[in-house]
Amino acid sequence: MKKNKISKDWINKQRKDIYVRRSKIEGYRSRAVYKLEEIEKKFKIFRNGISVIDLGAAPGGWSQYLSKNIKNAKILSIDLMEMEKIKNTFQIKGDFTESDSKKQIKDYFGGRVDIVLSDMAANTTGNKNMDSLVTGELCMEAMDFAKEILKIDGKFVSKIFMGSLFNDILLKAKKNFKKVNIYKPPASRKNSKESFIICKFLS
Ligand SMILES: C[S@@+](CC[C@H](N)C(=O)[O-])C[C@H]1O[C@@H](n2cnc3c(N)ncnc32)[C@H](O)[C@@H]1O
């Protein structure tokens, strides 16, 4: 299929997408916010006063949601991309996998945190298997970091792709956490292999 045709299809799909329309009306920067909202509805992970890390935060929908809906939260957002400022969040532009970024995050909190979220995804290369593998690796690394920095009753939520590393991720999650669920929120496009892993309580 020609590139022009693909982008026209993408624009048409966006126009028809109710989540895109809602995000514009409600002032959110991305439709991704509704995935987090649906995860919250089902798993009740947030409460006022918590500390939260948002990995792969740009353009900022998840962080906007946290900033709007959680009172007295301490929020840190990191992404490779520059992000417009979001109220009540500390933002880092950088690669989460670099040790300097991890140090900055640890220094900012100066102790353990309540929640680690990751919506990190590899930049799409056109090779779906490769993209899913790299995103799986990002999830594994986020989980290792979560294990280091979470409080004992902490929660870890991450994007995953059903595919290559899924079984390894699930196994690792079950080793590290007492409660593990896999959930595809309705806002996650049906034709994508995207899903989310929701982990509670370190083992
Ligand atoms: C699907 S988007 C996140 C959308 C976001 N949750 C929202 O609500 O707007 C995935 C993001 O992961 C980021 N990302 C990928 N690898 C990363 C890394 N190593 N460190 C930090 N961010 C990364 C990308 O730059 C991209 O902005």
Q: pLDDT digits over 144-159, tens only?
A: 999 999 999 999 999 9
Going along the chain from its start, the domains and CATH numbers come out as 31-202 (3.40.50.150)
User: What is the chain's alpha carbon radius of gyration, rounded to the nearest angstrom?
Assistant: 17
3-state secondary structure of 107: helix
Distance 92 CA to ligand 1 centre (A): 12
Beta strands in the chain (DSSP E): 51-55, 74-79, 89-93, 113-118, 150-161, 177-183, 194-202
Q: pLDDT digits over 22-75, tens only?
A: 999 999 999 999 999 999 999 999 999 999 999 999 999 999 999 999 999 999
Cβ–ligand 1 distance for 147 under 6 Å, the answer no
Cβ–ligand 1 distance for 104 under 6 Å, the answer no
Q: What does the longest C-alpha to C-alpha distance in the chain come to?
A: 51
Name the packing angle between helices 166-176 and 128-149 (round to 10°): 10
Cβ–ligand 1 distance for 34 under 6 Å, the answer no
Ramachandran angles phi, psi of 54, nearest 5°: -115, 100
Q: Is the full-model pTM beyond 0.85?
A: yes
